[in-house]
Amino acid sequence: MGAADMHVKKIGVLGAGQMGHGIAQVAAQSGYDVVLRDVEQRFVDKGLDGIRRNLGRQVEKGKLAKDVADAAIARVHGTTDLKALADCDLVVEAIVEDLDIKKKVWQELDAIVKPGAVFATNTSSIPITLLAAQTKRRAKFLGMHFFNPVPVMKLVELIRGVETDAATVQLVTDVGAKMGKTVVEVNDYPGFVSNRVLMPMINEAIFAVHEGVATAKAVDDVMKLGMNHPMGPLELADFIGLDTCLAILDVLYEGFKDPKYRPCPLLVKKVQAGHLGRKSGKGFYEYGGEGKIGV
Ligand SMILES: NC(=O)c1ccc[n+]([C@@H]2O[C@H](COP(=O)([O-])OP(=O)(O)OC[C@H]3O[C@@H](n4cnc5c(N)ncnc54)[C@H](O)[C@@H]3O)[C@@H](O)[C@H]2O)c1
């Protein structure tokens, strides 16, 4: 373990949604004090319940001692008050993927949080450098991109903004390692590495269905059985959410001004129809009582 994270005792997590509550959980399990902030108490409570349920499941399975789980949840302080983040050493932001809301929150945080603290965003698609520029601490700002579900997925994609300094990269690398993650460093270009490689593959799989090359199930079977992917690209697209896939492809398309990233018309059509994947019950597959059915 490096020494750079020695001064990190308290981590602020902004947003108690799918990603935020997972980040708060792994931070607390790694011994950090955590302030988990959302805009309304009901969202905070939902996040805290999610952490309790996850830890409870691990205790039931015998993977975690009850007193260790209790100590972890006791380290998470839920709040709606942004000022509660003032004395955090590291703030990880995992709020809605909306540029204007994120810009405003980072401006507010810059005024509230102590000057030495490091700022990290979990954005999937917004330029890190643009968010860093909302603050007066651009050198202490970077992307800390976790994957869903956070307690399970081993990767943190660390994204350096144009002005991120080496000490900040080291500190977040050490914090990530303490959380049991493998931190992989990349630079700030559209889609970083994860979505730049993943989304064109998903888009190409959708084109194959759109052009009648094969059914969704056939495309997924080829990739699972031939390429050893644990999920086929269309199953994965349904899992991520087809609206999210489309939004990220648009970011790549706009960011590079390159037609190779143009979203497949079938993807656009499905999003227009509200067929968003698992979360809406239908995407490239249907999700009902009888499990997944090819459509
Ligand atoms: N879901 C994923 O698979 C995934 C993976 C990697 C990164 N991300 C990124 O993580 C971020 C969060 O995504 P999510 O899936 O957890 O979303 P989510 O909708 O589950 O949660 C977002 C939470 O942010 C809260 N919020 C909104 N404005 C806020 C504010 N001003 N202050 C505090 N909280 C606020 C919302 O109330 C909500 O609880 C996004 O930037 C997304 O791109 C998501």
For residue 289, tell me if it sits in a domain.
no
Query: Where does a domain end: 187, 217, 239?
Result: 187
How many angstroms is it from 122 CA to the middle of ligand 1?
Answer: 8
Q: Which amino acid is at 144?
A: M
Backbone angles phi, psi at 246, to 5 degrees: -65, -45
Q: State pLDDT tens for residues 160-216.
A: 999 999 999 999 999 999 999 999 999 999 999 999 999 999 999 999 999 999 999
- Please give the mean pLDDT across all residues of the chain: 96
Same domain, 66 and 31: yes
How many angstroms is it from 2 CA to the middle of ligand 1?
Answer: 30
* Diameter over CA atoms, the chain: 57
Residue nearest to atom 18 of ligand 1 (CA): 17
User: Which residues does a 6 A CB cutoff place in the pocket of ligand 1?
Assistant: 14-20, 37-39, 43, 94-97, 101, 105, 122-124, 145-148
pLDDT at 292: 67
Point out the ligand 1 atom lying closest to the alpha carbon of residue 124.
43
For residue 181, tell me if it sits in a domain.
yes
Q: State pLDDT tens for residues 130-146.
A: 999 999 999 999 999 99
**What is the domain range of residue 59?**
3-187
How many angstroms is it from 95 CA to the middle of ligand 1?
Answer: 3
No. of H helices and E strands in the chain?
Answer: 12, 10
For residue 250, tell me if it sits in a domain.
yes
Query: Where does a domain end: 170, 187, 204?
Result: 187
Same domain, 33 and 143: yes
Mean pLDDT of 147-158: 97
The DSSP annotation for 125-150 comes to SS-HHHHHTTSS-GGGEEEEEE-SST
How many angstroms is it from 15 CA to the middle of ligand 1?
Answer: 6
Catalytic residues: 124, 145, 157, 195
CATH for 207: 1.10.1040.10
Mean pLDDT of 77-101: 97
Point out the ligand 1 atom lying closest to the alpha carbon of residue 21.
16
The region, left, alpha or beta by phi > 0 then psi within -120 to 50, assigned to residue 226 is: alpha
Q: State pLDDT tens for residues 227-238.
A: 999 999 999 999
Task: Count the domains in the chain.
Answer: 2
CATH for 182: 3.40.50.720
pLDDT at 245: 97
Same domain, 40 and 182: yes
